[in-house]
């Protein structure tokens, strides 16, 4: 539809595209010499809406009120579209107030069929959305681009707070949505971690529990592949802050799994098995990814799943061993005598009477991603040895030396699979020890030399230090002795590492303990040396305290002197903690903290 609108002294042709009810997207074109001036106004209004400059926008709109509802871009966006998408709350509020008795213009759509409300939803601007809905509540139901409801738009863009708001506003209308669109919203909620809304949708339509995406996955299959969604029910302070920033909610993925699984279990055993197996077995997918909480919820309601095996006759415990997921494997201690049956499962091959057992899986090298969960090749080798020894303790004695599909015993298979890691571990241990040994040697040299250069010098007649009665001198002397002693000890520890034979069993206890001792004594010697240096410096500047202007000098120098020690701690504490945990707390590594078969995990 075309027509003409008077813009002051300007003749402006207006083209209106009425694609449906309440849709009007005017477009202005100006001919002649007025075109440049008109485009300048459009640009000014666009910039004002984008930046929230109400004064500039108001002057243009007052000079020509038709600008209020006219498109100002080639894709038919109005000033309201621009301001809403830019989260300019104050600008939108004033603009809407000008549109008295013009509420029908609030649902104008751009070229992509998006209203200004849809753009506010995309931007995640809840205040703007509330302003628009207060004026026209039906905006929450008007579909935008690709025939998407505002709720679906909020979900697909991950706008948690906006999605919560829109769900409350449109809850009563969701039951009238076509099933396909409802499923899209449901699955997208899972993809974007909006579990609160997914749970509410599931409560409205139980069929969503067995609905499938185009690739055949159900909601449970999607959640089986999302171990990050089950990071723990009691996150740390930082995690809670981050969750609140993105609009997270109290409803967790675990609650959604429980609701979904309860619905699935209401079906026949054959249907339940189909839901598990198609398009892939969600049980083994979760076990491979280490999705412990997910598995725990399934097994809590259906313990018989521990007997489930894949095409290679492996249970979830076999998969956990293969991919080194300790939380899942530890649950083998919670099933009592059933453990002996589960670990006895064999992995068949093409030849009769030849098979792999669980210990052969522990002997295989895991993926680099799983290895990198521990710092350094040496500690990775240590963790692999811990896994092998733990699995060896639970398998039947007859399986410990049984040859597998490759004609190797588990121990020989372990050695062959870990040859490269053993070499990298030796190189890492040598390189680390050599670097630290150089530092320890330098500290020994410096401290030894400083011991014969006492602060303040010696008495020429007695030969004793001039400042021997000063408290700081005693601090200096003791610190020197400590630094010298511990630096020499550190050097010896690293020397022992360098001369080690680097056998596999050395990586289990001997080498990590020596490295821990070397790093600890190196840090102590470094701190003692810094204390000695600071004491000497305070003695040298002891007279400066009579001069107020110089008091900051020794304090500042001492503060800078401690920076290397702080850096050492920041750079090495993760390595030290990993070594301590793997070496000294290895017994607690393979013990379940709580059974996944308890009434509630």
Q: Give the tokens for residue 75.
A: 């894709």
Q: How far is C-alpha 234 from the chain's CA centre?
A: 15
Query: Can you give the pLDDT at residue 552?
Result: 72
Question: Chain-centre distance of CA 341, in angstroms?
Answer: 37
Give 147-200 pLDDT, tens digit per residue. 999 999 999 999 999 999 999 999 999 988 889 999 999 999 999 999 999 999
DSSP string spanning 406-431?
TS--HHHHHHHHTHHHHHHHHHHHHH
Contact status, residue 484 vs residue 448, Cβ threshold 8 Å: yes
Kindly compute the dihedral angle of the four CA atoms of residues 567, 571, 575, 581, in this order, to the nearest 10 degrees.
60
Q: What percent of the chain has pLDDT over 70?
A: 84
Strands 27-29 and 355-356: unpaired
Residue 27: the pLDDT is: 43
- The answer to whether residue 207 scores a pLDDT higher than 50 is yes
Task: Give how far Cα 359 sits from Cα of 172, 320, 398, 561, Å.
Answer: 56, 12, 11, 52
The residue-averaged pLDDT of 538-558 equals: 68
Closest CA to 3 of 237, 11, 330: 11
User: Which stretches of 343-397 are assigned E, i.e. beta strand?
Assistant: 347-348, 355-356
Best CA proximity match to 201, nearest among 219, 225, 227: 219
Structure tokens that stand for 159 in this block: 């706008």
End-to-end, the C-alpha distance of the chain in Å comes to: 64
Q: Say if residue 313's pLDDT is above 90.
A: yes
CATH of domain 1-175: 1.25.40.20
Question: Is the pLDDT reported for residue 24 higher than 80?
Answer: no
Q: How many Cβ atoms are within 10 Å of 138's Cβ, its own excluded?
A: 12
pLDDT at 1 over 50: no
From 38-42, 205-209, 289-293, 521-525, the region with the lowest mean pLDDT: 38-42
290 has pLDDT over 50: yes
Strand order in the sheet with 27-29: 2-7, 10-15, 27-29
Q: What is the pLDDT of residue 545?
A: 55
Q: No. of H helices and E strands in the chain?
A: 29, 5
pLDDT confidence bin for 470, thresholds 50/70/90: confident
- Residue 89, pLDDT above cutoff 80: yes
| Confidence class for position 458, pLDDT limits 50, 70, 90 | low
On the CB side of 273, CA atoms within 13 Å amount to: 8
pLDDT tens digits for range 56-78: 999 999 988 888 888 888 888 99
What token pair was written down for 211?
Answer: 């609905």
Task: Select the more confidently predicted residue: 494 or 17.
Answer: 494
Least confident of 273-277, 450-454, 550-554: 550-554
Sequence-distant (6+) residues with CB within 8 A of 531 are: 475, 479
Can you give the pLDDT at residue 6?
34
Other CB atoms within a 10 A radius of the CB of residue 69 amount to: 19
Separation between Cα atoms, residue 14 and residue 5, nearest integer Å: 7
Task: In whole angstroms, give the CA distance from residue 368 to residue 225.
Answer: 19
Structural contact between residues 592 and 334, judged by C-beta atoms closer than 8 angstroms = yes
Mean pLDDT to the nearest integer, 261-285? 95
Instruction: Give pLDDT, residue 16.
Output: 35
Range with the lowest mean pLDDT among 89-93, 314-318, 526-530? 526-530
Nearest partner of 379 among 519, 499, 511, judged by Cα: 511
Contact yes or no for 124/162 (Cβ under 8 A): yes
Query: Which tops the pLDDT comparison, 104 or 561?
Result: 561
| DSSP H or E stretch at residue 592 | none
Reported as a pLDDT band with limits 50, 70 and 90, residue 525 is very high
**For 272-284, what is the mean pLDDT?**
95
Residue extents of the structural domains in the chain: 1-175, 177-308, 313-417+586-601, 437-561
78: DSSP letter? B
Output the pLDDT for position 304. 92
Section 455-479 average pLDDT: 72
The secondary element (H helix, E strand) that includes residue 29 is: strand 27-29
Q: Report whether pLDDT(357) > 80.
A: yes
- pLDDT tens column, 396-448: 999 999 999 889 999 999 999 999 999 999 999 999 999 999 999 999 999 98
In this predicted structure, what is the pLDDT of residue 287? 97
Asked whether the beta carbons of 56 and 41 are under 8 A apart, the reply is no
Mean pLDDT over the full length of the chain: 85
279 contacts 217 by C-beta, under 8 angstroms: yes
Other Cβ atoms closer than 10 A to 137: 11
User: Which residues, 6 or more positions from 557, have their beta carbon under 8 angstroms from its beta carbon?
Assistant: 534, 537
Beta-strand pair 10-15/27-29: antiparallel
Q: Is the pLDDT of residue 110 over 50?
A: yes
Question: Half-sphere exposure (CA, 13 Å, Cβ side) for 130?
Answer: 10
Mean local confidence (pLDDT), 99-125: 89
For 533-560, b/e burial (b = at least 16 CB within 10 A) is bbbbbbbebeeeeeeeeeeeebeeebee
Say yes or no to pLDDT of 260 above 70. Answer: yes
pLDDT of res. 347? 86
Contact of 72 with 41, CB cutoff 8 Å = no
- pLDDT at residue 36, as a whole number: 73
pLDDT bin (cut points 50, 70, 90) of residue 476 is confident
Residue 431's contacts (CB-CB under 8 Å, 6 or more residues apart) are: none
Rounded to whole angstroms, the Cα distance separating 81 from 85 reads 6
Map residue 541 onto helix, strand or coil.
Answer: coil
Q: In which band, very low, low, confident or very high, does the pLDDT at 455 lie, cut at 50, 70 and 90?
A: low
Residue pair 223/294 in contact by the 8 Å Cβ criterion? yes
State residue 294's pLDDT score: 96
């Amino acid at each position: 539809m075309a027509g003409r609108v008077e813009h002051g002294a300007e003749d402006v042709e207006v083209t209106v595209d009425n694609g449906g009810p309440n849709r009007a997207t005017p477009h202005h074109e100006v001919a002649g010499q007025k075109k440049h001036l008109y485009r300048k106004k459009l640009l000014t209004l666009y910039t004002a809406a984008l930046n929230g400059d109400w004064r500039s926008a108001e002057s243009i709109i007052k000079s020509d009120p038709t600008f209020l509802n006219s498109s100002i871009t080639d894709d038919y966006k109005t000033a309201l579209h621009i301001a809403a998408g830019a989260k300019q709350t104050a600008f939108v509020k004033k603009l809407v107030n000008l549109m008295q008795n013009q509420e029908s213009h609030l649902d104008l759509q751009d070229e992509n069929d998006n209203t200004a409300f849809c753009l506010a939803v995309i931007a995640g601007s809840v205040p703007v959305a509330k302003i628009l809905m207060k004026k026209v509540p039906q905006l929450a139901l008007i579909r935008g681009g690709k025939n998407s409801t505002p709720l679906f738009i909020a979900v697909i863009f991950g706008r948690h707070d906006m999605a919560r708001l829109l769900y409350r506003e449109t809850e009563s209308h969701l039951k009238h949505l076509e099933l396909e669109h409802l499923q899209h919203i449901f699955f997208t909620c899972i993809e974007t971690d909006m579990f609160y809304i997914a749970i509410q949708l599931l409560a409205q339509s139980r069929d969503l529990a067995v609905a499938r995406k185009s690739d055949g996955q159900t909601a449970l299959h999607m959640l089986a592949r999302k171990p990050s969604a089950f990071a723990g029910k009691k996150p740390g302070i930082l995690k809670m802050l981050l969750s609140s920033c993105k609009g997270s909610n109290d409803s967790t993925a675990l609650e959604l799994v429980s609701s979904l699984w309860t619905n699935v279990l209401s079906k026949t055993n054959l249907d339940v098995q189909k839901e598990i197996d198609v398009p892939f077995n969600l049980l083994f997918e979760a076990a491979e990814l280490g999705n412990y909480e997910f598995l725990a919820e399934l097994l809590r309601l259906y313990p018989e799943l521990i007997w489930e095996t894949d095409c290679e006759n492996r249970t979830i415990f076999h998969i956990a061993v293969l991919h080194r997921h300790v939380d899942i494997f530890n649950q083998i201690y919670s099933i009592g005598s059933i453990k002996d049956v589960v670990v006895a499962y064999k992995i068949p091959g093409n030849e009769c009477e030849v098979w792999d057992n669980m210990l052969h899986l522990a002997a295989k090298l895991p993926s680099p991603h799983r290895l990198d969960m521990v710092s350094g090749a040496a500690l990775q080798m240590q963790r692999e040895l811990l896994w092998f020894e733990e699995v060896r303790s639970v398998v039947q004695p007859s399986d410990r030396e049984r040859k597998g599909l490759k004609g190797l015993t588990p121990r020989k298979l372990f050695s062959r699979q870990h040859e490269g890691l053993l070499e990298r571990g030796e190189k890492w241990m040598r390189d680390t020890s050599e670097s630290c040994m150089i530092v320890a040697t330098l500290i020994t040299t410096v401290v030894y030399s400083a011991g014969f250069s006492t602060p303040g010098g010696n008495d020429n007649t007695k030969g004793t230090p001039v400042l021997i009665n000063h408290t700081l001198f005693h601090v200096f002397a003791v610190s020197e002795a400590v630094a010298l002693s511990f630096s020499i000890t550190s050097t010896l520890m690293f020397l022992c590492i360098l001369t080690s034979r680097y056998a596999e069993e050395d990586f289990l206890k001997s080498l990590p303990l020596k490295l821990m001792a070397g790093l600890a004594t190196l840090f102590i010697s470094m701190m003692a040396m810094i204390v000695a240096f600071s004491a000497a410096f305070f003695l040298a500047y002891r007279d400066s305290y009579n001069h107020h202007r110089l008091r900051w000098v020794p304090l500042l120098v001492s503060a800078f002197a401690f920076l290397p020690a702080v850096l050492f701690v920041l750079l090495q504490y993760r390595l030290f903690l990993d070594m301590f945990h793997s070496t000294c707390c290895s017994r607690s590594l393979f013990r379940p903290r709580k059974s996944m078969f308890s009434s509630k995990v």
